[in-house]
Structure 1
Amino acid sequence: MLRPIRKFQQFLVDHPLKAGEIIHHRYQVVDVIGKGSYGILYKCMDRETRDNIVIKQLRPSKRKKIKEINLFKKEAEIIGQLNHPNIPTFFEAFSEKEHYFYAMSLLEAENLEETIFARKKTFNEKESLLFMRELIEIINHIHEKKIYHLDLRIPNIMIQNDEPYLIDFGLASQGKMLLPIKEEDAKLQDFYDIGDILLYLLYTTYSPKKKKALPWTEELVLKKETVHLLKRLLRISEPYGTIEEIKQDIAVAIHSKEIV
């Protein structure tokens, strides 16, 4: 019963800001562009620079809880440490009238989930591997800072010109903030999620021939190098220990597709 009650509470309390409202004496709300479990996303115009940006607001229903406020501040702190062209750029965090916000750059890109399911975009085996090679570089950047995303899913991957962008660090953890998750477990979770995303991409070109669902190892016709990569990512065989190992096996799998 807790989830319906929580949703009803959010419905009563979490009214988004209206278009035209000014936040922090600077940012003018253009539109609501997303709602998550913890936050509301707005497209805003920066009245000083005239640029469009994103403002994330902690849901009003959560702003009275210290734990929720700290998680929101942690997310802003983590994004502020990242410096990658395929991750939103952090601008500032602020509070106003007992509400909590932070500002970041706007990615003019599409959600990978919508691209696959609504636009019916497909990725063949080589295209899937090339896409994952780019995504791995982004993951490598955050792992070098001991930051683990812990929510790598296709809704949190944006795509523009076939290039991946990573968003939503609401569940991300770093260093001492990892407890009760061990760092090794956090790293393996990200690796597993990478495998899951790769599997999603590979299934975009699959047409079922039988009504009964089979394991991916039987449904998908893949090069042995790609199967090896997936099995290690998904912990079916020995898990990867480092990003470098994954990058090497992706390179081998891509090369195998280039051999005629």
Structure 2
Amino acid sequence: MILSYCLNPNCSEPQNHPSVKHCQSCGANLILHNRYRSIKKIGKGGFGATFLGIDLSLPGNPFCVIKQLRPTSKDQETFDMALELFEREAKTLGKIDHPQIPRLLDYFEEDKHFYLVQSLVKGKNLQQEVKQNGVFNESQVKAFLKEILPVLKYIHSLKMIHRDIKPANILRREQDGKLVLIDFGAVKDQVNTQLANQNYGQTAFTQFAVGTMGFAPPEQLAMRPIYSSDIYAIGATCLYLMTAKSPKDIAADELTGELLWEKEVRLSAGFVKILRKMLEVDVRNRYKSIDEVLVDLDIVPYEQQLEQNLFTHSKPVTPPPNLESESNDNTYVSATSRLAMAIRARKSRQGKSKYVAQVTPQSLLNAYSRGRIDFSQQVFNKFNFAHANIPNINFRNSQLIQAKFEEANLEGANFYSANASGANFNKANLRKVHFFKAELESADFRGADLEGANLEGANLDSANLCGANLTNSNITEEQIQQAQTNWATIFPDGKRHIW
């Protein structure tokens, strides 16, 4: 039985029977906006609380997230201003339309509390992920940045600042393994800032801290956030991912306030330079925009590629044609000059060939063994990964036509929207693999372990599931009918069906 949970912050017995409409302890209304019922508290902060709820107006009563903002001031003028700011900022949040940001479903005021209702995203946040799986290495952090920074760039394009970026506010979506940015501080922080600017004194609003200590830079704590405040918070999040330490637990320079983080991690010189600039206390020295960070992230691996092959150490990198010298003589060109020319060549979109390191199955496995897991949006057709041990590898949107994965360990791997038609997964470990929207036509899954795998939206036309274990997998009856099965196939209910 799913209980109702009273949203009155002063209620002594908030749990109620689901059939009642008013709290049996304090008498508060349990059905918000004639539509939403709270069932569980899932978070609490200085400005309110977050609850898991259900939408009673829609078929199936889907889950949602209810965020309650609690201005405690009894001053009517203060409340009226807060209500106006809340409505204005909530409308701004309503303009967000991005697949990696929860959708705003509703906003309203009831009993002098403000509410935001958002779609529910199932998954673990990065703080939980680090505690469960351990810290990230450099390649994993770079992959994190390359995925989350474009989401933040979208937010900034709407002239919004997130204001509360931290590991607990970034989820890895269970459905497809993508990162999702949650818990926007736009409403509460705009209320805080405006009321402070209007000289309302130390009201209940201005007493609340803006952002999270350790992740928020000085200018944000002073209620003057700018776009690069989010960049600092992303950099601080990287520190947590690599150390499992909150930035406030990392030593800082007593004179400047700069975090002394470099002794906590082992990173390449190029990436250290990027993090230093993200974590600058002085905003004049910090990155001004997301694009600046992305450009530097794009250059760093190419800089490393000039020194050694991206995947292997056995062959030297061959520079692009005419890169080492502008003329036909043998004039010496310094390493710095070669790097500059290489970067210019890489950025050139037309008329010049660009060197691309040759990737082989073995070079990919070597890269994986050194910590790289992201191999998304690449072409690996007919590659042989038989017996490979590559759990949690990311093949999102990659081409894997007729690739061989016999008896490979791919547990937790991400094949989101990948094309693996005709691939051989015979007897492979595919537990909890994300095949969401993957092209799997004629793929061979005989004897494969697909327990808990997500096959939602995947094309399984003529795929061979004979002897496969589909226990608790996300697959429809229609998909099963498209594929081949036999008496040895274990279906999602954990049973073999007698034909």
Q: TM-score, normalised to structure 2's length? A: 0.43
Q: State the superposition RMSD in angstroms.
A: 3.6
Q: Distance in 1 between matches of 2:89 and 2:74?
A: 15
- 1:27 is aligned to 36
- 1:87 is aligned to 101
Match of 1:224 among 263, 269, 284: 269
What amino acid is the match of 1:251?
Answer: D
Q: Contact 1:13/1:61 (CA < 8 Å) preserved in 2?
A: no
**Matched residue pairs, number?**
242
- 1:37 is aligned to 46
What amino acid is the match of 1:108?
Answer: K
Q: Distance in 2 between matches of 1:19 and 1:131?
A: 43
SS of the counterpart of 1:148? coil
- With over 3 angstroms needed to count, the CA separation of the structure-2 counterparts of 1:39 and 1:252, relative to structure 1, is same
Q: Shift of residue 13 of structure 1? A: 6.6
- With over 3 angstroms needed to count, the CA separation of the structure-2 counterparts of 1:154 and 1:16, relative to structure 1, is farther
Within 5 Å, give how 1:186-201 maps onto structure 2: 186-201=226-241
- With over 3 angstroms needed to count, the CA separation of the structure-2 counterparts of 1:185 and 1:27, relative to structure 1, is closer
- With over 3 angstroms needed to count, the CA separation of the structure-2 counterparts of 1:79 and 1:219, relative to structure 1, is same
What are structure 2's unaligned runs of at least 5 residues?
A: 1-7, 19-29, 198-218, 246-250, 253-258, 313-499
Q: Contact 1:223/1:253 (CA < 8 Å) preserved in 2?
A: no
- 1:108 is aligned to 122
Q: Distance in 2 between matches of 1:19 and 1:228?
A: 57
Q: Shift of residue 125 of structure 1? A: 0.9
Q: Distance in 1 between matches of 2:37 and 2:182?
A: 22
Q: Contact 2:163/2:185 (CA < 8 Å) preserved in 1?
A: no
What amino acid is the match of 1:58?
Answer: L
Match of 1:168 among 183, 187, 202: 183
- With over 3 angstroms needed to count, the CA separation of the structure-2 counterparts of 1:19 and 1:29, relative to structure 1, is farther
Match of 2:66 among 46, 55, 58: 55
What amino acid is the match of 1:200?
Answer: Y
Per mean C-alpha deviation after superposition, the further-off stretch among 20-29 and 145-154 is 20-29
- With over 3 angstroms needed to count, the CA separation of the structure-2 counterparts of 1:115 and 1:61, relative to structure 1, is farther
Q: Distance in 2 between matches of 1:99 and 1:17?
A: 19
Matched, 1:96 2:107: no
Match of 2:139 among 126, 130, 134: 126
Q: Shift of residue 192 of structure 1? A: 1.1
What amino acid is the match of 1:245?
Answer: E
- With over 3 angstroms needed to count, the CA separation of the structure-2 counterparts of 1:200 and 1:71, relative to structure 1, is farther
- With over 3 angstroms needed to count, the CA separation of the structure-2 counterparts of 1:185 and 1:79, relative to structure 1, is closer
Q: Contact 1:14/1:60 (CA < 8 Å) preserved in 2?
A: no
What amino acid is the match of 1:147?
Answer: M
Q: Shift of residue 197 of structure 1? A: 0.9
SS of the counterpart of 2:288? coil
Q: TM-score, normalised to structure 1's length? A: 0.77
Q: Distance in 2 between matches of 1:70 and 1:233?
A: 34
Q: Contact 1:54/1:103 (CA < 8 Å) preserved in 2?
A: yes
- Structure with the larger strand share: 1
Q: Contact 1:109/1:158 (CA < 8 Å) preserved in 2?
A: yes
SS of the counterpart of 2:185? coil
- Fraction of identical pairs, as percent: 29
Higher relative contact order (CA 8 A, sep 6+): 1
What amino acid is the match of 2:152?
Answer: I
What are structure 1's unaligned runs of at least 5 residues?
A: 1-9, 206-211
- 1:4 is aligned to none
SS of the counterpart of 1:40? strand
- With over 3 angstroms needed to count, the CA separation of the structure-2 counterparts of 1:75 and 1:153, relative to structure 1, is farther
What amino acid is the match of 1:197?
Answer: T
Q: Shift of residue 60 of structure 1? A: 6.7
- With over 3 angstroms needed to count, the CA separation of the structure-2 counterparts of 1:190 and 1:60, relative to structure 1, is closer
- Structure with the larger helix share: 1
